[in-house]
Amino acid sequence: MHFKLGFLALPLAAIMIGAIAPHAIFAGPNQDMARGKVTQFGVSSDFSAKSTATGFNASGTARFVFLNSDPNQVYTGEVTCLRVTGATSTTPASATIGGVITDGPSGSFASSFVINATDSGKFSNVPDTYTFFLSSAPPPPDGGCPTGFAGSPITQGDVIIDNALP
């Protein structure tokens, strides 16, 4: 019986640490990370991306559900690039995420996506921002994410960005 409790202690400790510090576990050391779940303008978006601190070896997923269609149009994709810029005293952290569309509605010409998001911080009075577009152009390459563009304030959802570099 004593052995079984000791055997369970390690997995339980791992679960507790995961519940306390999910960002550190997801991003890892020397990794940039951006994730969010946003609903605005009739589209529900869910994304999660990570890369090295220098913007290479990007990976992750994105999902866009157009809620004003019947049935809902759903696009899913894999991340090909992530560019993170850290917060300063006057600007929020920002991320640009690009990727390839891996699944979408029949007849769709969309083959890539680009997301731009900002994270104003948990205690800021300034809202996070978010915008995205789907394109028939090839996806941005690893390490080649475009520079960010203006987003709309988020009214429903949240964006979290971790920058590995100060």
User: Using one digit for the tens of pLDDT, what is the confidence trace for 74-127?
Assistant: 999 999 999 998 877 677 889 999 999 999 999 999 999 999 999 988 888 889
Within a domain: 12: no
Task: Please state the pTM of the whole predicted model.
Answer: 0.80
Rounded to whole angstroms, what are the CA distances from 146 to 39, 82, 116, 128, 139?
A: 23, 9, 10, 20, 11
The number of domains in the chain is: 1
Count of other CB atoms within 10 angstroms of residue 86:
15
Query: What is d(CA 15, CA 107) in angstroms, rounded to the nearest whole number?
Result: 43
CB 47 within 8 A of CB 60: yes
Within a domain: 20: no
Within a domain: 90: yes
- Residue 27 confidence (pLDDT): 54
Within a domain: 95: yes
How many Å separate Cα 74 from the centre of its chain? 17
Within a domain: 2: no
Which tokens hold the place of 85?
């810029």
The arrangement of strands across the sheet holding 59-66 comes to 152-153, 129-135, 112-119, 93-103, 73-85, 59-66, 43-52, 31-40, 157-162
Within a domain: 109: yes
Torsion of CA 15, 18, 21, 24, to 10 degrees: 140
Within a domain: 5: no
Q: Tens digits of per-residue pLDDT, 13-62? A: 433 333 333 333 355 678 999 999 999 999 999 999 999 988 899 999 99
- Residue 8 confidence (pLDDT): 42
Higher pLDDT, 160 or 1: 160
Within a domain: 15: no
Look up the domain containing 141 and give its range.
28-162
